[in-house]
Amino acid sequence: MRNAAREETMSDTQTMSVTPLDAPAGAKVTGVDLSQPLNHENGEGILDALAEHGVLVFPDQNLTPEQQVEFSRLFGEVEINHNAARFGIEGSPEIYIISNVTKDGKPIGSSRAGEEWHSDMCYAKRPARATMLYAVEVPTLHGMTLGDTAFANAAAAWDALPDEMRDRIRDLRAVFDFTKRKRPYVPDAETIAKYPPVDHPMVRRHPRTGRLGLYVMKVDSTSVVGMEQEDARRLIDALSDHIIKPRFVYRHQWTPRDLVVWDNCTVQHKAIVDYDHPQRRLMWRTTIRGDVPV
């Protein structure tokens, strides 16, 4: 994922610059206005950069919900969250609100989403390809920014495993269960029925680059196909702890109008909930549907 900064001429009027972060994952992308339509060169450059770096940070973007949804379509089909009726935006149901803000005594968004390490929609037959988060309001306290998001490079974690462990797990499949993750709401029976337990490869191949990465999570992964439960639990926990070692983690400190996109094939993430009222956090999330993992 780490390359020197490069510039790509994307149109007659814009030059997009992709600068790798000094971190185990991620790059900053400047010189492109995401409120405007992207030409083919823009789109392909962004798709390549996401596949290479795992996390892309687009600073200082002024977006409406409609513009965020339109940019999200670059990556594929935009999902409508199963809780969108409660925390969606009128006219843009693809936007899911992450927020601790209340209006008329009621929450306007999901206030404690993603507190555990995970990859979005790993419990679905076709997990999310990418996720996009736009910072509308960022909490601060005494001049310090709160509400960071941490990202773990699961491809680098795979590369760092001993050959013996890689050979052991290369063809294993983990079972993922929607009901096991802690959520700020109780899913209804219809939603639970929509996401029965599913198994995915524990070592996932990226559809664009072919790079391998670990695809296992301590909470969502409940067992390993063909393995005794005690042994499976021990393996899941060991690999999950390995993925989130500090040398694989980038922690993003948000600034208002940051747009961050991450690749759910090779990156796991976790919300840092270190804020509370009266600090306000308001984020718009879109999730892009992916393919069946291989």
Q: Which residues are designated catalytic?
A: 118, 120, 269, 285
Cα(130)–Cα(137) distance, rounded to whole angstroms? 22
Cα(84)–Cα(97) distance, rounded to whole angstroms? 8
SS (H, E, C) 102-170: EECCEECCECCCCCCCECCCCCCCCCEEEEEEEEEECCEECCEECCCEEEEEHHHHHHCCCHHHHHHHC
For residue 156 the two structure tokens come to: 């680098």
Q: Which of 292, 113, 117 is nearest to 216 (CA)?
A: 117
Centre a 10 Å sphere on the Cβ of residue 185 and count the other Cβ atoms it contains.
14
Please calculate the CA angle 202-178-229 and round it to the nearest 5 degrees.
55
Residue 152: exposure state from Cβ atoms within 10 A (0-12, 13-18, ≥19): buried
Centre a 10 Å sphere on the Cβ of residue 42 and count the other Cβ atoms it contains.
20
Buried b (16+ CB within 10 A) or exposed e, 59-78: eebebebebbbbbbebbeeb
